[in-house]
Amino acid sequence: MTDRDDLVSDAFQRFLRDTPEQAEAWMSAVRALSEASALDAKTQALAYIAVLAALRLESGVPYHVVHAKELGATREEVLSAVLVGLPAAGHAVTQALPAAIGAYDRS
């Protein structure tokens, strides 16, 4: 685990801790997909936040918001990433706003 454990959901921490072989396989695929992306790191981080919001996976938002901020994303960019899916995914994306704002402001 890392110093960001408080940003990672209990479920994902259990996945990492209790199923290390599967977790390593998953993380290896995540790293490879990230490396294959044509997007710069900040844009990719913001896009990932948008996907999390659209899929209503709010538990992943804090970790990825802090990561985006470390890559130079502004508060406004993070909020725009959360809301970019509003026309397609509807009001459900706003459920990620509290987690995004809280994580950004605390980091």
Q: pLDDT, tens digit, for every residue of 7-21? A: 999 999 999 999 999
Chain CA centroid to CA 24, Å: 18
CATH code at position 76? 1.20.1290.10
Task: Residue 27: give the domain boundaries.
Answer: 5-106
Domain count, the chain: 1
Residue of 5 and 97 predicted with greater confidence: 97
Quick check: 1 pLDDT over 90? no
Global pTM? Answer: 0.91
Residue partners of 62: CB distance under 8 A and separation at least 6: 7, 99, 100, 102, 103
Chain CA centroid to CA 25, Å: 19
Per-residue model confidence as pLDDT tens digits over 91-107: 999 999 999 999 999 99
Q: What is the mean pLDDT of the chain?
A: 95
